[in-house]
Amino acid sequence: MKVRYFADTDTDTMLIEFRDVPVVETKDLDENTILDLDAHGNIRSITIEHASTRADAPQFSYEQVAA
């Protein structure tokens, strides 16, 4: 998984890539959120525009919790 934050763009964009596979379908969840799906309908990536106000970017933390 990769998380990229583009602070210097006009749209203040965060891209979260879950898998490195081709995009087969793109869905607009709202005017600032895009969901990309692979051939099996799995989420490939999510794009969030205006991420500093909508997703508190660039603040980010990652925690792996044992099952």
Q: Which pLDDT band holds residue 23 (cuts at 50, 70, 90)?
A: very high
Q: What is the pLDDT of residues 32-42, one digit of tens each?
A: 999 999 999 99
Is the pLDDT reported for residue 52 higher than 80?
Answer: yes
By the 8 A CB rule, do 49 and 33 touch? yes
Residue 60: partners with Cβ closer than 8 Å, 6 or more residues away: 3, 5
pTM attached to this predicted model = 0.84
